[in-house]
Structure 1
């Protein structure tokens, strides 16, 4: 009998327990448990849409309780606060059925990553982050209040990676769409990036196309702009004050600080847990790590990048490897296959790079591909039948409702 415990219900963790739960359906010898503090799963690459009120929580959110019952795994609503590798138990941050520990035979860490404030003075206190659905919903509540003003409201976004770029574009689209309400106020969006171009990890020609589109949408882009400090409604950037009613931090990536003290497991400078090519930790073969919180080496000496597609591939790979594991077969190494990058710039436009970043595409049909990636994630969770029904329902709602579902009153 094998007891699999997965910590973290993001894209990687939820896809893994879904695949394992279905694989072991009817087999009482193996149990699968998901440990996650939230009650609902929302796909992290679309948090920027939640922050702007354009994400359909009713149709696209996943209840862990309901999903676990339908897919053969157990759900424990709690966070992880510690690990005892010798006794093979994890410590929970709350009591569950009178106990705050959980035993495992094989543990999978899939807790993801968060934005890196680089310990800049005032950032943690005066900027909003978009690392969770709760934070994204908080941002939307503040933006709704700003939209009720009769004067122009300013929003500063720090970090022109995927999250920052998509959020800036979505806000610009919101500004255009809400003109139908004939409200007196408007939004002025400024995107601040320390590098010399937006999307610094993408091909240069892709960065140029994305920046051009952002500027066409009315976003002010500031490059080579280093944030020195943050205070209430103000950022100091290159010794110049930038005023804004809302300040969003979307720069850098790191993992939670508590991962650096997880019973001696090896971590790097941004708290990622070091793993072998088999996704097992370097010091304990019973502990696996997938997603953004893993530092996984590749044959060419590089590391798997912290992207959603890498997390999805790792979940698929590990589900297959666990089947081999219970049959006493050797584990195979994980090899990341880069499918390129796609950035949404509003609901009708996207820019993407494919073929090893040799070809850059743009347009409405690229946005359709972007949406298909999300539907593929849902397909793993629900199957094509329900996904097709969700797509039809969403189309009907779009025809009947205003573009933005959130109440502005």
Structure 2
């Protein structure tokens, strides 16, 4: 049998493994499997990464949305191996994955070698700290469920602590040494200040979601602080505007909505240093903080530059052709954030978005069908269907259907929020089918109707 190995169980990798398993791996009484499909991931469960800002804000319980890889493998005719990619031998067509360790039980699974005929690398991206002093030590990234949960717990603890302990005298919010104090300073300073570095989609969505969380925590009695004035949210962006990757109209509309929510925007400010309780910018401003989230950029995992001569770009992404094959090896493919894929007619490559990973997974499934039948591989072309940014429970903003109508249609409000949530539902449908997606949606609604709007513990 042909041996497929897919490393990385994110949106693209898991969708590809599921579809390949359904087509080539599932056995029944009439047909034998045509391929062996193995999914490798360092975690035992999957969660859709664009939802991590909701986990951090407490508006989504990750344990009700996580998908067990082993269960998905059993349902859809593929195998799951837990471990982290640590080596590749292209000559023998083998990968090495790390041992699995438990804090209490020690080594659970040994280091293993797996043989492949076709290898797909889909390990996503990781946070880029750009060498900023103290950023990695004193801020929280949102790459994993564990990091998002850590931020949520620290936020609740900070709110409870601020209510019961007296604040420092005249604690400044932002001090501008070159001019008069910024309005967040002096006696009007918030009791708690959350700084979010990076005003891309993750930073913007988190800032809006946190404002809602502050109100909900107050309503449930976890603190008696004023949710708008005592809990400050500062969004810091090095560029001239927030959401720099999106159109000006989307950026402007989002900035207006965030301002109405009481989020302070600092654009054109490059962070020079992060400490436990402050942020210093290159222009000389010092921002007092209780919690810092780093959402300023992404880069490819370091392991990609160590994979037996596979070419990478300056961000560490694997360079692939339009077939999604790596330049050095026709039997190794890459998709998603870790792949530098050309986009004909555009100076930049395919952007690192969930919709791109979904498209590439669908493309590779069809391409592998052709390959199994001895046909040549087609070429992938990215289709931009627009971008949506969530601004809380009832609102979103963005451009829609850019790839369909040759332009961009600006949308916002409840309709935009509905379209944003439908993206996640389409991901669920790709994994389970539309019937189970509908049942999952109903079950999710029933859970929300009997649970607090924010995870409180």
Q: Shift of residue 301 of structure 1?
A: 4.9
Q: Shift of residue 376 of structure 1?
A: 0.4
Cα distance per residue 1:322-370 (max 9 Å; x no partner): 1111111000011100000000000110002024353211011110111
User: How many angstroms apart in 1 are the aligned matches of 2:370 and 2:61?
Assistant: 38
User: How many angstroms apart in 2 are the aligned matches of 1:401 and 1:358?
Assistant: 38
- Say if 1:191 and 1:99 are closer, same or farther in 2 by CA, change over 3 A: closer
- 8 Å CA contact retained: 1:82, 1:262: yes
The answer on 1:84 being equivalent to 2:89 is yes
Structure 1: tracts of 5 or more residues without a match:
none
| Structure 1 equivalent of residue 61 of structure 2 | 56
TM-score by length of 2: 0.86
The answer on 1:124 being equivalent to 2:168 is no
- 8 Å CA contact retained: 1:228, 1:239: no
User: How many angstroms apart in 1 are the aligned matches of 2:274 and 2:134?
Assistant: 5
Matches within 5 A, 1:398-409: 398-407=448-457
| Structure 2 equivalent of residue 113 of structure 1 | 125
| Structure 2 equivalent of residue 332 of structure 1 | 378
Matches within 5 A, 1:279-290: 279-290=324-335
- 8 Å CA contact retained: 1:260, 1:271: yes
| Structure 2 equivalent of residue 166 of structure 1 | 205
- Say if 1:270 and 1:62 are closer, same or farther in 2 by CA, change over 3 A: same
The answer on 1:197 being equivalent to 2:241 is yes
Determine helix, strand or coil for the equivalent of 2:325: coil
Cα distance per residue 1:73-125 (max 9 Å; x no partner): 10001010111111111111116865521111110000011221111111111
Matches within 5 A, 1:175-214: 175-182=214-221, 183-185=223-225, 186=227, 187-214=231-258
Q: How many aligned residue pairs are there?
A: 407
- 8 Å CA contact retained: 1:149, 1:184: no
Q: Shift of residue 397 of structure 1?
A: 2.1
Matches within 5 A, 1:322-401: 322-356=368-402, 358-401=408-451
User: How many angstroms apart in 2 are the aligned matches of 1:115 and 1:365?
Assistant: 31
- 8 Å CA contact retained: 2:99, 2:110: no
User: How many angstroms apart in 1 are the aligned matches of 2:346 and 2:224?
Assistant: 55
Determine helix, strand or coil for the equivalent of 1:286: strand
Matches within 5 A, 1:286-297: 286-297=331-342
| Structure 1 equivalent of residue 314 of structure 2 | 269
Q: Shift of residue 400 of structure 1?
A: 1.9
Structure 2: tracts of 5 or more residues without a match:
101-107, 164-190
- 8 Å CA contact retained: 2:99, 2:109: no
Determine helix, strand or coil for the equivalent of 1:145: helix
User: How many angstroms apart in 1 are the aligned matches of 2:253 and 2:299?
Assistant: 28
User: How many angstroms apart in 2 are the aligned matches of 1:259 and 1:358?
Assistant: 35
Matches within 5 A, 1:25-36: 25-26=26-27, 27-36=32-41
- Say if 1:317 and 1:167 are closer, same or farther in 2 by CA, change over 3 A: same
- 8 Å CA contact retained: 2:47, 2:66: yes
The answer on 1:157 being equivalent to 2:202 is no
User: How many angstroms apart in 2 are the aligned matches of 1:150 and 1:120?
Assistant: 29
- 8 Å CA contact retained: 1:155, 1:245: yes
Determine helix, strand or coil for the equivalent of 1:129: coil
Q: Shift of residue 143 of structure 1?
A: 1.5
User: How many angstroms apart in 2 are the aligned matches of 1:157 and 1:97?
Assistant: 38
Q: Shift of residue 234 of structure 1?
A: 1.4
Q: Shift of residue 261 of structure 1?
A: 1.7
Using the TM superposition, name which of 165-174 and 130-139 deviates more: 130-139
Matches within 5 A, 1:211-222: 211-222=255-266
Cα distance per residue 1:274-302 (max 9 Å; x no partner): 00100000000010000001001122254
Give the alignment partner of residue 113 of structure 2, picking from 76, 86, 101. 101
Runs of 4+ more than 6 Å apart: none
User: How many angstroms apart in 2 are the aligned matches of 1:59 and 1:123?
Assistant: 31
- 8 Å CA contact retained: 2:336, 2:356: yes
The answer on 1:315 being equivalent to 2:387 is no
Using the TM superposition, name which of 245-254 and 389-398 deviates more: 389-398
Q: Find the structure with the greater CA-based Rg.
A: 2
| Structure 2 equivalent of residue 9 of structure 1 | 9
TM-score by length of 1: 0.96
Cα distance per residue 1:128-160 (max 9 Å; x no partner): 101112211211121221231244211100000
- 8 Å CA contact retained: 1:280, 1:287: yes
- Say if 1:20 and 1:242 are closer, same or farther in 2 by CA, change over 3 A: same
